[in-house]
Amino acid sequence: MSYIRDNFLLTNKTAEVLYNRYAKDMPIFDYHCHLPERQILENKPFGDIFEIWLAGDHYKWRLMRNYGMDEEYITGNRTNKEKFKAYCTVLGTAFGNPLYHWSQVELKDFFGCELEINEANADAIWEECNAYIRENALTPQKLIEGSNVKHVYTTNEIFDELSTFEEIAKKDYNFTVNPAFRADRIMNIDGMGYTGYIDRVAAQTHEIKDLCDLEDAIELRLQAFIKVGCRASDIALERVYAVADKADAAKVFEKVLSGEDPTAEDAEIFKGYFTYFLMKLYAKYGISTELHLGAMRNNNAKMMQKLGPDTGFDSISDTNSITLTSRLFDRLNNKDSLPKVILFNLNPKMNTEMMTIIGCFQDGTPGGKMQYGPAWWFLDNKVGMENHLRDLTATGHLAVFVGMLTDSRSLLSYPRHHYFRRILCNYLGDMMEKGEMTQDMELVGKVVQDISYNNSVNYFGLKD
């Protein structure tokens, strides 16, 4: 039997009350994920548990590599069942890793399977879950609605097809799906195939011969995103760069369009200016910016060439750009062009630095214009979430926090919201039992409900 119990991660009675009475039944707003919207629209039944559980999930791939599993069982040509059994073997001894918890909860919540995940049980789990999938004709819609999800923001590059979102809106789903605007492919002027991405934007807008043309095209695409319900944008940077002059950025852009490769200095100039331009544009249209900092991407050039990006070869960067982050925010603020910002930090050494910088640019917006994003990616584990809550409460205001997200490509990742909610309730329950805060259960419970769902809904200006 599974080791997951009703009091999982809840180490005191007050925490159990907070979770079961206030957090457990709150809806989910997943305001940052990487789910494929086409899959949600087509809503086809899944064939087996591998398709739902392992395909495309680089969190799981990374764990398997750290175990020493051959790549053939991860992204290679082994059968779905062989890959599934390999993952069960790996997970059986992954004590303390968040996937050790998440995967066990996912089996229980989505398939009613309470077998402990390990090599010995792999065949039985495969048969039991696949039988459940067949009997219940599991589809993306059923998985999302069964998780009590009300709103989903996917992450879409600016040249992505938007008609899919219009088609989803016509469905009788009990949840909404909207795109978050992402211009990273255009931002990363030193990336492979860059001019091809420019051509794709041009095909949807107009000819792009210089930086002014590009800026105009990006604004047109943002307007198109807004028409299908976009309220959020996403920027991912290893670090913030100095804001360069537009004229210098224009020279870099023209150089690349002419076929020359940009230097490292050229790339920094363009990214520094372009980040500033994008955030000004988002402020103009009332679009919130989810700014992700601290990921060093595609470290393994050999595997990048073989598998492409987003396949589990990223890591935490030690680059400190807090001063430049401050300069960027201040420059935007001085021009009344600082949008709402959720600042995500991947380096735990920078928690308090990032948290304190957002406190310098609040403006009286109810609920907090500037937000310190939840523990993200390598930090969305028990230790990372607990550290995040400690730093947030020590230097900010917990009650207006916008709460958790999945940042996932997996339709089974919604239990991560409850993983966070349990940790939140345990954190508050512990302080209550130690006499370090109010004993007013209704007041604390309302804060738990707000963090679980209400704050994010209000932050993005939605009406439920």
**Do 453 and 27 touch, CB atoms closer than 8 A?**
yes
In 70-200, beta strands by DSSP E? 149-157, 176-182
pLDDT at 56: 82
Any bridge partners for residue 234, and if so which?
Answer: 182, 290
For the four alpha carbons of 181, 186, 191 and 197, in that order, the dihedral sign comes to positive
Cα–Cα dist 369/463, whole Å? 18
Rg of the chain's alpha carbons, rounded to an integer?
Answer: 22
What is the rounded (10 degree) CA torsion for 409, 6, 4, 112? -70
pLDDT confidence tier of residue 241, bands split at 50, 70 and 90: very high
* Percent composition of the chain: helix, strand, coil (DSSP 3-state, to 5): 55, 10, 40
**Do 252 and 266 touch, CB atoms closer than 8 A?**
yes
Kindly state the helix (H) or strand (E) to which residue 234 belongs, with its residue range: strand 232-237
Q: Is pLDDT above 80 for 193?
A: yes
Q: What is the pLDDT of residues 213-233, one digit of tens each?
A: 999 999 999 999 999 999 999
Q: Is pLDDT above 80 for 246?
A: yes
Averaged confidence pLDDT in the chain? 96
Count the Cβ atoms, other than its own, within 10 Å of residue 316: 17
Cα–Cα dist 214/278, whole Å? 12
8-14 average pLDDT score: 97
What distance separates the 2 farthest-apart alpha carbons in the chain? 67
Count CA atoms closer than 13 A to 63's CA, side-chain side: 22
pLDDT at 57: 87
| Crossing angle of helices 122-136 and 80-91, rounded to 10° | 120
Residues 6+ apart with CB under 8 A from 351: 345, 387, 388, 391
At residue 310, what are phi and psi to the nearest 5 degrees? 60, 45
User: Model pTM?
Assistant: 0.96
Total H helices, total E strands in the chain = 21, 9
pLDDT at 463: 79
- The single-letter DSSP state of residue 19 is I
Q: What is the pLDDT of residues 62-119, one digit of tens each?
A: 999 999 999 999 999 999 999 999 999 999 999 999 999 999 999 999 999 999 999 9
**Do 421 and 428 touch, CB atoms closer than 8 A?**
no
Cα–Cα dist 388/8, whole Å? 20
pLDDT at 309: 84
CA distances from 187 to 190, 251, 270, 329, 340 (A): 9, 15, 7, 18, 20
303-310 average pLDDT score: 87
If we measure between CA atoms, which residue out of 155, 340, 334, 319 comes closest to residue 237?
Answer: 319
**Do 216 and 201 touch, CB atoms closer than 8 A?**
no
Lowest mean pLDDT among 50-54, 172-176, 306-310, 409-413: 306-310
Kindly state the helix (H) or strand (E) to which residue 325 belongs, with its residue range: helix 322-334
Q: Tell me how far the alpha carbon of residue 135 is from its chain's centroid.
A: 32
